[in-house]
Amino acid sequence: MDNLLEVKNLNKEYGRGTSKVKALQDISLTVPKGQFVSIMGPSGSGKTTFLQLVGGLDSPSSGEIIFNGVNLQYLNKEPEISVFRRKHIGFVFQFFNLIPSLTAQDNIALPLVIEGTSKTYINERVKFMLEIVGLKNQVLKYPHQMSGGQQQRVAIARALVRKPFILLADEPTGNLDTKTTLEIMELLKTTQKELEQTIILVTHNPIVSSYADRVIYFKDGRIIEDELLSNNKSKREISVEISEKLTDISGGTVYAN
Amino acid sequence: MLTNFIQYVIKQMNRNIRNLYIILGIAISISLLVSTSILYVGMKAEVENQVRENYGEKDVMIGYKNLVGYNDVVEAKLSEDDIEYIKNHPYVKQLSTVFFPLFNESRNGILFIGIAPNDSFAKTEFKIPQYDINENEVILSKDLLDRFKENNGKIKITFPSGEEGVWTVKEVLEGKSTVLFNIKDLQKTLKAPNKVNLMLIDLKENADKQQFIKDIKSNIDPRLIIDPIKEKDKFRSNLGGLRNIGIVFGVFILLISTYFVQSILQMSFKEKIQQMAILRSIGTSKKQLVFLVITEALILSLIGSVMGSGLGILIAKFGKNIVVGQLQTTILETPIPWNIITLIIIISILSVLVAGLVPAFKVANIPPIQVFSNTLNQEYTPKRRRTYTSLFFLTIGILLTTISIIFSEKLSGLSFIGSLILLLGVIVGLYLFVKPILIGVKYILGSINRIEVKLAINNLISQKVHTANAAIVIVLGLAIGFSLQNLLGAIEKGEYNRIENQFGTRLMVQAYAPMMSTLPLSLSSELKAIPGVNHVSALGKIISVKTDKNEELLVSPADFQSLMNMGLLSKHVNTSKPAIILSKEMATKFNYKIGEVIKLTGRSDQVEIKENTSFIITDIMDFVPSTLHSKLAIIDWKYLKLKGDSTYPRGFFIATTEKNTSEIEQLVYRVISKYPEAELLNQEIVIKDIKNQILRMYSIFYTAILSIFVVGFLGMYNSIHSNIISRKREYGILRATISTPTNLLNIIIIESLLIGLFSTIIGGVLGLTLTKGLSTFLDIDFIINWNVLITTIVIILIASIGVSLIPAFKLKRLKVVDFFNR
Ligand SMILES: Nc1ncnc2c1ncn2[C@@H]1O[C@H](COP(=O)(O)OP(=O)(O)OP(=O)(O)O)[C@@H](O)[C@H]1O
Ligand SMILES: [Mg+2]
């Protein structure tokens, strides 16, 4: 399988002198196309920092990030990096960040509109995305008329409408109840399968992680474990295992949601 | 579905209530500017109209003049060449020639005037429609009709010089003792062909009057008296002073409107920063963001401008009616000044653009990492630079104000600049005052042991920038509005005082055609006998006297003692010695000072000053009360020798303390009915007229002040509303932890009230400083109108509660979780 993402010896330091924080230390990994990766770890372990670097929002102190053979370092100036980000990377956040004055379908259309895509393509693509995320009946609703789960669906559709290389999601279910969390995870799983979408997701929730193909554990800016999940076990079993692993890593602290 | 970016711009605007505020803000500001400028133009036209109505169309009078007026006592006349020269002078717009023979005045008091046919002079000077007086026709006053009427219905006049003639009556005038002739006709009859002794001239707009006078004197005859019509100039320069105030006003209105729109926009962008951040996060380029802002600003300001202009025109139209109705004034209808409106619209579009671009660039330059982080931090801590700037302005402002107070005489401009800088300093660093003042309030309210009050005060202190932002509009509006109101009050009061001083008496009996006829001195005691009359002061006919230095002086004899009793003299005058009071103009002309002695010699038909009587200059006044004239002097009449004393005075001032003079008026009428020359003037009416004129001039500024308060109120609603809404999360935390919905409602209302209190304290102090600065600068009294100040403060406090109610109830109804939803 082709490697979509290749990360080599990535380091990130914040601040200098005594207040220096080594947020990421010597991270190396590869992600093949279509894989669903979950990142877990205690608070402050560098998960968000990692997503930000991979997403080209910030530049590493050292190391390389390569997407489909393109080294982000070469793009490390504006507006190239912004264009790359807009074309190839989709973001989903804990807060859905929808434009309140636009309907569901218009929110989804917005990235294409900004790019100046043709009208017919926009129509077609947005309809398709609405179907994927299961919001065919909510097209004309405004964000404040939708539930959190529905809003997150719109946000996911918006992130995917431009067919990004990779979807980066930082605690996308952090703001949702259990039932809705499961729905959103089912949706992400569907997109992975139907669109061959590569996904990296950060979460504290073992159940969420159980939907992934692979779980990477961070601690103090380092990867301390990287495991592929078995297809044979039930989600329940997997999440229990993850839970235990987390407890080991953080020395007794239990993480949930 | 959304398919292009412009659609997006419009769609997202469509559903944003904030845009309505912006449009409203722009519209109100523009309507304010437009209506003020329309009213101002109208008022200017009205003043010019008044000038023409009161003083005629003419700018300059040219003629040969002796002591009583323009006449032919001096054996000189204007030749046809002279007239031609003047007519062709480049400054001259229009010219009327008048033949105005003055016969020995004691025989009769009739004015014979020859005017050119169809001359506008007749229309304005004699207040008649423009008649074409043909030869053999006259227009004459009613009283003369019976006197000269022959049996055949014609008029026969025998002139004092012996000539006579017969005319048909063209029209009868309302006035007294006047006959208008065709000028050629009169010249022929009096055997003075082509004789012209008076010209009335209308100068072109930009004519240099002084230069014109020089030209005429050097080219025709240095003895010519050229008399620019002073009153008219004075009246116009009044308007000139008004223009300065108008400019101060305009600047303030512009300032407030710009600030208003700017603050709405800024708040709107503060709210929109999130939206822009999202846009950035899904790949909107900086260019697109700027485009978004420009398009939005253009659309908003265009709609606002059109609405505002329309509203402004309507306000000017209806507001005019209200002003006119309320203040019994008139403001002329004027064509809408489209050029001004266009300018205003362009300025407003530009300022909206600038106001919009600043936050757009701010957002565009936010590093993407910050855009993506969920806690896009909106908590705003003021930069240190801002604090320093504020402190800098404050120091300079206080310094300048102090210096200008110490050296107040010389540095009047400084106090104004100082107070403006102070205002700037306070506005920039308003948040610096939040804590000390609110702690003061807390201390004062210490006895009120309600948790809500404490919470509210703590909230406001911890959010001092928010608090300051919410307060800024009120502070600014109050400071400016209040100082302007005080300023106008002071000007108005000063003006009223001046008038009251000038017209200290209420009634005046005057011999009609004051230059010619006189009244018996005995009338004085008859008038004095009328119940309700406190003092009567006779004034004599103006006589020409010579000083020992051979200067010609026009003096009017008056009874100094009774003038003093009437309060018409500003000083006590020792009447045991001959005294003279000079007008400032005369004193400057001949370089006389108080205390100097002038020796006067002079005589007229009826009166004589003994050779070289010494008069002490006891006072120099702006203008001389008993004559209401700036070119004259008065001397105490005790030191005159009357020849046939029975018919010397030309008028009597009657002073009464009675408020309602109508009864006295009736009695005075009865007394004077024996003397056909006598006429009663009610000075009260004159005073009222002048006061009305003043009111008329200032009414426009009152309209403007009112509008400032309206705009201020809207600004207040806007800022308090967005202050509350932008702190939704904070209130949510309160609700989640300690407060009930009612607690929250109370907290919000108390906060708003406290903001109002804070603003009025600062705005009031600033307003007073600004008033002081302005009044020193413009050299007017510093008057604090406590009524207005207190009323305004009460209104603001009530209003601040009022404006908080809608958002407060909105939040009260929310469930706790809703506070945290975007
Ligand atoms: N902008 C920054 N400046 C300085 N230090 C930072 C910055 N961003 C993150 N850090 C530090 O880097 C480390 C990693 O932070 P990061 O946000 O990646 O953790 P995380 O794993 O996402 O934690 P959480 O689970 O709480 O979201 C932390 O110690 C954090 O304090
Ligand atoms: Mg994180």
Q: With an 8 Å Cβ cutoff, are A85 and B368 in contact? A: yes
Tell me the pLDDT tens digit for each residue of B737-780: 667 778 888 888 888 888 888 988 898 888 888 888 877 777 67
Nearest to B163, CA basis, from B196, B186, B187, B190: B190
Ligand 1 atom closest to the CA of A41, numbered from 1: 21
Are B448 and B339 found together in one domain? no
CA angle B128, B133, B135 (to 5 degrees): 155
Q: Are residues B65 and B50 in the same domain?
A: no
Query: Which band of pLDDT confidence, cut at 50, 70 and 90, is reported for residue B498?
Result: low
Ligand 1 atom at minimum distance from A45 CA: 21
Q: Across the interface, which of B5, B274, B275 has its CB nearest the CB of A114?
A: B5
How far is the first Cα of chain B from the last one, in angstroms, to the nearest whole number? Answer: 24
Q: Are B480 and B708 in contact (CB under 8 A)?
A: yes
One domain, residues B49 and B72: no
Q: Which residues of B fall within a CB distance of 8 Å from A156? A: none
pLDDT at B69: 41
CA distances from A22 to A14, A45, A203 (A): 6, 10, 21
**B726, B466 Cβ separation under 8 angstroms:** yes
Span from the CA of A90 to the centroid of ligand 1 (angstroms) = 21
Look at residue A82 and tell me if it is in a domain: yes
Q: Both B75 and B202 in a single domain?
A: yes
Contact B644, B609 (CB under 8 A): no
Contact A154, A107 (CB under 8 A): yes
**Residue with token string 């002038």:** B598
Task: Measure CB to CB from residue A102 to each of B2, B277, B821 and give the nearest one.
Answer: B2
SS3 string of B119-165? CHHHHHHCCCCCCCCCCCEEEEEHHHHHHHECCCCCEEEECCCCCEE
Cα B113 from Cα B127, distance rounded (Å): 14
Q: Which residues pair with A214 in a beta bridge?
A: A37, A228
Q: Give Cβ neighbours of residue B481 (< 8 Å, ≥ 6 apart).
A: B705, B708, B709, B712, B767, B792
pLDDT at B68 over 50: no
**Residue B461: pLDDT above 70?**
yes
Q: How confident is the model at residue B105 (pLDDT cuts 50, 70, 90)?
A: very low
The bound ligand whose nearest atom lies closest to the alpha carbon of A46 is: 1
Q: Which residues of B touch A122 (CB under 8 A)?
A: 1-3
Residues B583 and B452 in one domain: no
pLDDT tens, position by position, A77-89 = 767 777 788 788 8
Last residue of one domain, picked from the residues B641, B657, B673: B657
Top pLDDT among B567 and B436 is at B436
d(CA A46, ligand 2 centre) in Å? 7
Asked if A145 has any chain B CB less than 8 Å from its own CB, the reply is no
Task: Sort B27 into a burial class: Cβ within 10 Å, 0-12 / 13-18 / 19+.
Answer: buried
Nearest Cβ partner for A99 among B7, B12, B367:
B12
Mean pLDDT of B271-281: 71
Residue B652 and residue B511 share a domain: yes
Cis peptide before A79 (omega within 30 of 0): yes
Residue B399 falls within a domain, yes or no?
no
Q: Please state which of the ranges A99-113, B5-19, B325-339, B702-716 shows the lowest mean pLDDT.
A: B325-339
In a domain, A32, yes or no: yes
Query: Cα–Cα distance between B13 and B273 in angstroms, integer?
Result: 14
Q: Domain check: are B631 and B705 in the same one?
A: no
Distance of alpha carbon B819 from alpha carbon A230, whole angstroms: 42
pTM reported for the whole predicted model: 0.56
Q: What total of structural domains would you count in chain A?
A: 1
Atom 8 in ligand 1: which residue has the minimum CA distance?
A: A49
| Residue B328: count of CB within 10 angstroms of its CB | 12
Are the C-beta atoms of residues B663 and B610 closer than 8 Å to each other? no
What would the two tokens of residue B54 be? Answer: 């009161």
Domain span at residue A48?
3-249
Comparing B732 with A176, which gets the higher pLDDT? A176
Cβ B372–A79 below 8 Å, yes or no?
Answer: no
Q: Is residue A24 predicted with pLDDT exceeding 90? A: yes
Same domain for B440 and B547, yes or no, is no
Query: Which residues are within 8 A (CB) of B274 and not within 5 positions of it... i.e. 6 or more apart?
Result: A97, B376, B378, B822
Measured from the alpha carbon of residue A49, the closest ligand is 1
Does A253 lie at the interface with B, CB-CB under 8 angstroms?
A: no
N-term to C-term CA, chain A: 33
The per-residue pLDDT for A255 is: 47
CATH of the domain at A197: 3.40.50.300
- Tell me the pLDDT band of B143, cut-offs 50, 70 and 90: confident
Least confident piece of the model among A1-10, B32-41, B584-593: B32-41
Residue B288: predicted pLDDT? 80
Mutate which: A102, A129, A167, vs B, most B CBs within 10 A: A102
Angle at B277 between CA B275 and CA B279, to 5 degrees: 70
pLDDT at residue B624, rounded to an integer: 56
Ligand nearest the Cα atom of residue A25: 1
> Across chain A, how many H-helices and E-strands are there?
8, 10
Any ligand 1 atom below 6 A from CB of A198: no
Q: Identify which of B614, B627, B618 has the alpha carbon closest to the alpha carbon of residue B542.
A: B627
Which pLDDT band holds residue B96 (cuts at 50, 70, 90)? Answer: confident
Residues 6+ apart with CB under 8 A from B547: B553, B590, B598, B599, B600, B601
Does residue B516 contact residue B105 with C-beta atoms inside 8 Å?
yes
Residues of A in contact with B12 (CB under 8 A): 99, 101-102
Q: Distance between CA atoms of B609 and B602, rounded to whole angstroms?
A: 5
CA torsion angle for B250, B252, B253, B256 (degrees, to 10)? 160
- What are B527-531's contacts with CB under 8 Å, separation 24+? B527/B652, B527/B654, B527/B668, B527/B671, B530/B664, B530/B667, B530/B668, B530/B671, B531/B664, B531/B667
Taking an 8 Å cut-off on Cβ atoms, the answer to whether A142 and B281 are in contact is no
Residues 6+ positions from B742 with CB-CB distance below 8 Å? B812
Asked if residue B242 belongs to a domain, the reply is no
pLDDT, mean over chain B? 74
Tell which one of A19, A48, A57, A246 to mutate to probe ligand 1, the residue whose CB is within 8 A of the most ligand atoms.
A48
- CA-nearest of B564, B503, B498 to B534 is B564
Domain-located, residue B675: no
Considering the domain boundaries, does residue B317 fall inside one? Answer: yes
pLDDT at position B379: 43
Contacts of B162 (CB under 8 A, 6+ apart): none
DSSP assignment string, B390-435:
HHHHHHHHHHHHHHHHHTTTT-HHHHHHHHHHHHHHHHHTHHHHHH
In chain B, the residue whose alpha carbon lies closest to the alpha carbon of A147 is B821
Distance CA B575, CA B565 (A): 12
- Residue from A101, A142, A146, A158 to probe the interface with B (highest B Cβ count within 10 Å): A101
Q: Round to whole Å and give the CA distance between A105 and A107.
A: 5
Give distance in angstroms: CA of B406 to centre of ligand 2.
63
- Model ipTM over 0.85: no
Determine whether the shortest distance from the Cβ of A253 to ligand 1 is under 6 A. Answer: no
Ligand 1 atom at minimal distance to the Cα of residue A47:
21
CA distances from residue B747 to B592, B685, B705, B741 in whole angstroms, order as listed: 72, 57, 32, 10
Residue B244's pLDDT is: 60
If one counts the domains in chain B, the total is 4
Q: How sure is the predictor about B74, in pLDDT bands with cuts at 50, 70 and 90?
A: very low
**Dihedral sign (CA B735, B740, B741, B743):** negative
pLDDT at B303 over 60: yes
- Which residue, of B613, B639, B657, is where some domain finishes? B657
Per the listing, tokens 């998960």 go with A47
Give domain status of residue A140, yes or no: yes
For residue A48, being part of any structural domain is answered with yes
Question: Where on the phi/psi map is residue B162: left (φ > 0), alpha (ψ -120 to 50), or beta?
Answer: left
**Distance of residue A233 Cα from the nearest chain B Cα, in angstroms:** 35
Give distance in angstroms: CA of B362 to centre of ligand 1.
25
- Predicted local distance difference test score (pLDDT) of residue B376: 43
pLDDT digits (tens, 9 = 90+) for A25-79: 999 999 999 999 999 999 889 998 899 889 887 888 899 999 888 888 877 776 7
Closest CA to B50 of B689, B742, B726: B689
DSSP bridge partners of A37? A200, A214
Per-state percent for chain B, helix, strand, coil, to nearest 5:
60, 15, 25
State the Cα–Cα distance between residues B670 and B684, nearest whole angstrom: 19
A101/B16 Cβ within 8 A: yes
Q: What letter represents residue B797's amino acid?
A: L
Q: What is the pLDDT of residue B378?
A: 44
Q: How far is CA B668 from CA B507, B518, B680, in A?
A: 9, 17, 8
Name which of B343-357, B398-412, B688-702 the model is least confident about.
B688-702
The answer to whether position A256 is within a domain reads no
Distance separating alpha carbons of residues B718 and B803, to the nearest angstrom: 9
Sequence-distant (≥ 6) Cβ neighbours of residue B659 within 8 angstroms: none
Ligand 1 pocket residue status of A143, Cβ below 6 Å: no
The CB density around residue A251, as the number of other CB atoms within 10 Å, is: 8
Decide whether any atom of ligand 1 lies within 6 Å of the A23 Cβ.
yes
Shortest-distance Cα residue to atom 30 of ligand 1: A44
State the smallest CA–CA distance between residue A257 and chain B in angstroms: 17
Cα–Cα distance for residue pair B802/B753, rounded to 1 Å: 9
The tokens describing B779, both together, are 């050299």
Please state, as a whole number, how many other Cβ atoms lie within 10 Å of the Cβ of residue B789. 18
Co-location of B156 and B8 in the same domain: no
Q: Are residues B66 and B35 in the same domain?
A: no
Six token digits for residue B274? 């999130």
Does residue B264 share a domain with residue B202?
A: no
Best residue among A18, A47, A175 to mutate for probing ligand 1, ranked by most atoms within 8 Å of CB: A47
Domain extent, residue B16, equals 1-56+248-378
pLDDT at B374: 47
A217 CB under 6 A from ligand 1? no
Decide if A102 and B12 are in contact by the 8 Å CB cutoff: yes
- Categorize the per-residue pLDDT at A239 as very low, low, confident or very high, splitting at 50, 70 and 90: confident
In 3D, which of A197, A205, A206 has the Cα closest to residue A229? A206
Beta bridge partners of B141: B173
* Chain Cα centroid distance, residue B250: 13
Pairing of strands B92-99, B198-203: antiparallel
More confident residue, B478 or B319: B478
Q: Per the domain annotation, does A11 fall within a domain?
A: yes
Residue B110 falls in which region: left (phi positive, over 0), alpha (psi -120 to 50) or beta: beta
- At residue B693 the predicted structure's pLDDT band, cuts being 50, 70 and 90, is low
CA distance B658 to B340: 50
- Stronger pLDDT, A243 or B710, i.e. the higher one: A243
- Verify that B68 and B217 share a domain, yes or no: yes
Please, which residues bridge with residue B545 across strands? Answer: B553, B602
Q: Which atom of ligand 1 is closest in space to residue A221's alpha carbon?
A: 14
